[in-house]
Amino acid sequence: MNENNLTHFDAAGNAVMVDVSAKPVTTREATAHGIITMNAEAFAAVQSGTVKKGDVLGVARIAGIMATKRTSELIPLCHPLPLTKVSIEFRLLPKQQAVEALCTVKTAGVTGVEMEALTGVSTALLTIYDMCKAVDKGMELGEIHLVEKTGGKSGHYIRAEGGYV
Protein backbone atom coordinates (compact mmCIF):
# COMPACT_ATOMS: atom_id res chain seq x y z
CA MET A 1 0.00 0.00 0.00
CA ASN A 2 1.48 3.36 -0.91
CA GLU A 3 1.10 6.58 1.03
CA ASN A 4 -1.73 7.83 -1.21
CA ASN A 5 -3.96 4.97 -0.02
CA LEU A 6 -3.48 5.70 3.67
CA THR A 7 -6.34 7.63 5.24
CA HIS A 8 -4.18 9.31 7.87
CA PHE A 9 -2.31 11.42 5.29
CA ASP A 10 -3.54 14.41 3.30
CA ALA A 11 -2.73 15.10 -0.37
CA ALA A 12 0.56 16.74 0.64
CA GLY A 13 1.63 13.71 2.70
CA ASN A 14 1.02 15.33 6.09
CA ALA A 15 -0.35 13.21 8.93
CA VAL A 16 -3.96 14.10 9.79
CA MET A 17 -6.74 12.80 11.97
CA VAL A 18 -9.30 11.30 9.60
CA ASP A 19 -12.60 13.19 9.28
CA VAL A 20 -15.27 10.61 10.16
CA SER A 21 -18.15 13.08 10.51
CA ALA A 22 -19.95 11.79 7.38
CA LYS A 23 -19.73 8.12 8.36
CA PRO A 24 -22.85 6.40 9.72
CA VAL A 25 -23.03 5.26 13.33
CA THR A 26 -22.87 1.47 13.53
CA THR A 27 -22.26 -1.06 16.26
CA ARG A 28 -18.58 -1.97 16.26
CA GLU A 29 -16.84 -4.65 18.26
CA ALA A 30 -13.27 -5.93 18.32
CA THR A 31 -11.43 -8.67 20.20
CA ALA A 32 -7.65 -8.80 20.64
CA HIS A 33 -5.49 -11.63 21.97
CA GLY A 34 -2.14 -11.90 23.69
CA ILE A 35 -0.05 -14.25 25.83
CA ILE A 36 2.56 -13.81 28.54
CA THR A 37 4.88 -16.73 29.27
CA MET A 38 6.81 -17.02 32.51
CA ASN A 39 8.93 -19.36 34.57
CA ALA A 40 7.37 -22.12 36.70
CA GLU A 41 7.67 -20.17 39.95
CA ALA A 42 5.88 -17.11 38.60
CA PHE A 43 3.18 -19.20 36.94
CA ALA A 44 2.55 -21.14 40.16
CA ALA A 45 2.25 -17.86 42.10
CA VAL A 46 -0.25 -16.43 39.59
CA GLN A 47 -2.20 -19.70 39.52
CA SER A 48 -2.37 -19.97 43.32
CA GLY A 49 -2.96 -16.25 43.91
CA THR A 50 0.13 -15.90 46.08
CA VAL A 51 1.94 -13.07 44.28
CA LYS A 52 2.96 -10.64 47.04
CA LYS A 53 1.64 -7.60 45.15
CA GLY A 54 -1.91 -8.98 45.23
CA ASP A 55 -4.52 -10.32 42.83
CA VAL A 56 -2.53 -10.29 39.58
CA LEU A 57 -5.37 -11.11 37.20
CA GLY A 58 -7.86 -8.83 38.97
CA VAL A 59 -5.49 -5.87 38.80
CA ALA A 60 -4.53 -6.70 35.20
CA ARG A 61 -8.21 -6.79 34.22
CA ILE A 62 -8.84 -3.33 35.68
CA ALA A 63 -5.65 -1.95 34.08
CA GLY A 64 -6.68 -3.32 30.67
CA ILE A 65 -10.16 -1.83 30.95
CA MET A 66 -8.75 1.54 32.02
CA ALA A 67 -6.28 1.49 29.12
CA THR A 68 -9.01 0.96 26.52
CA LYS A 69 -10.66 4.14 27.73
CA ARG A 70 -7.41 6.11 27.30
CA THR A 71 -6.36 4.78 23.88
CA SER A 72 -6.91 8.09 22.08
CA GLU A 73 -4.45 9.71 24.50
CA LEU A 74 -1.79 7.07 23.79
CA ILE A 75 -2.05 6.47 20.03
CA PRO A 76 -1.54 9.52 17.80
CA LEU A 77 -4.50 10.37 15.53
CA CYS A 78 -6.78 7.87 17.27
CA HIS A 79 -10.36 9.12 17.80
CA PRO A 80 -11.77 9.24 21.35
CA LEU A 81 -14.70 6.82 21.52
CA PRO A 82 -17.65 6.34 23.87
CA LEU A 83 -17.12 2.68 24.76
CA THR A 84 -20.22 0.68 25.66
CA LYS A 85 -18.51 -2.58 26.67
CA VAL A 86 -15.03 -3.68 27.69
CA SER A 87 -14.18 -7.16 28.93
CA ILE A 88 -10.85 -8.78 29.69
CA GLU A 89 -10.74 -12.55 30.04
CA PHE A 90 -7.80 -14.67 31.16
CA ARG A 91 -7.05 -18.33 30.69
CA LEU A 92 -4.19 -20.09 32.45
CA LEU A 93 -2.14 -22.34 30.17
CA PRO A 94 -0.21 -24.69 32.52
CA LYS A 95 1.65 -26.63 29.80
CA GLN A 96 3.03 -23.37 28.39
CA GLN A 97 3.42 -21.66 31.79
CA ALA A 98 1.49 -18.79 30.28
CA VAL A 99 -1.52 -16.58 30.74
CA GLU A 100 -3.66 -15.95 27.68
CA ALA A 101 -5.66 -12.71 27.56
CA LEU A 102 -8.59 -11.62 25.40
CA CYS A 103 -9.90 -8.06 25.35
CA THR A 104 -13.28 -7.33 23.75
CA VAL A 105 -14.40 -3.75 23.20
CA LYS A 106 -17.72 -2.47 21.82
CA THR A 107 -19.14 0.90 20.82
CA ALA A 108 -21.83 2.46 18.68
CA GLY A 109 -19.89 4.95 16.65
CA VAL A 110 -18.35 6.05 13.38
CA THR A 111 -14.94 4.41 13.74
CA GLY A 112 -13.68 1.03 14.90
CA VAL A 113 -12.41 -0.18 18.25
CA GLU A 114 -9.49 -2.34 17.13
CA MET A 115 -6.90 -0.04 18.70
CA GLU A 116 -8.79 -0.03 22.00
CA ALA A 117 -8.88 -3.85 22.10
CA LEU A 118 -5.17 -4.10 21.25
CA THR A 119 -4.30 -1.46 23.86
CA GLY A 120 -6.40 -3.23 26.49
CA VAL A 121 -4.84 -6.65 25.97
CA SER A 122 -1.32 -5.20 25.83
CA THR A 123 -1.79 -3.24 29.05
CA ALA A 124 -3.30 -6.23 30.85
CA LEU A 125 -0.25 -8.32 29.92
CA LEU A 126 2.15 -5.52 30.89
CA THR A 127 0.42 -5.33 34.28
CA ILE A 128 0.95 -9.06 34.81
CA TYR A 129 4.62 -8.50 34.00
CA ASP A 130 4.85 -5.59 36.44
CA MET A 131 3.23 -7.54 39.26
CA CYS A 132 5.38 -10.66 38.71
CA LYS A 133 8.75 -9.18 37.72
CA ALA A 134 10.23 -9.77 41.18
CA VAL A 135 9.84 -13.50 40.52
CA ASP A 136 10.67 -13.56 36.79
CA LYS A 137 12.22 -10.71 34.82
CA GLY A 138 12.43 -12.95 31.74
CA MET A 139 8.68 -13.09 31.03
CA GLU A 140 7.75 -12.72 27.39
CA LEU A 141 4.72 -11.03 25.87
CA GLY A 142 3.65 -12.31 22.50
CA GLU A 143 1.00 -13.27 20.01
CA ILE A 144 -0.71 -9.89 20.34
CA HIS A 145 -3.13 -9.60 17.46
CA LEU A 146 -6.65 -8.75 16.41
CA VAL A 147 -8.85 -11.85 16.55
CA GLU A 148 -12.09 -10.43 15.18
CA LYS A 149 -13.83 -7.18 14.40
CA THR A 150 -17.33 -6.35 13.25
CA GLY A 151 -19.03 -3.22 12.00
CA GLY A 152 -17.97 -0.40 9.77
CA LYS A 153 -17.18 -0.03 6.09
CA SER A 154 -14.49 -2.71 6.01
CA GLY A 155 -16.88 -5.40 7.22
CA HIS A 156 -16.43 -8.46 9.38
CA TYR A 157 -12.87 -9.69 9.94
CA ILE A 158 -11.92 -12.99 11.58
CA ARG A 159 -8.20 -13.72 11.85
CA ALA A 160 -8.54 -17.48 12.20
CA GLU A 161 -10.11 -17.68 8.75
CA GLY A 162 -7.45 -15.45 7.28
CA GLY A 163 -9.40 -12.33 6.49
CA TYR A 164 -12.69 -10.67 5.89
CA VAL A 165 -15.98 -12.58 5.69
Q: Which residues are annotated as a binding site for substrate?
A: 77-79, 115-116
Give, in degrees to the nearest 5, the angle at Cα 85 between 80 and 91.
115
CB 105 within 8 Å of CB 34: no
Q: DSSP character for 124? A: H
CB hemisphere CA count around 3 (13 angstroms): 8
Q: Are 37 and 96 in contact (CB under 8 A)?
A: yes
Query: Dihedral of the CA atoms 150, 23, 145, 32 (nearest 10)?
Result: -60
Instruction: Choose, from 10, 55, 130, 136, the residue flagged as catalytic.
Output: 130
Backbone angles phi, psi at 117, to 5 degrees: -65, -45
Backbone angles phi, psi at 47, to 5 degrees: -60, -40
Whether 10 sits among the annotated catalytic residues: the reply is no
Which residue positions form the known binding site? 77-79, 115-116
Catalytic residues: 130
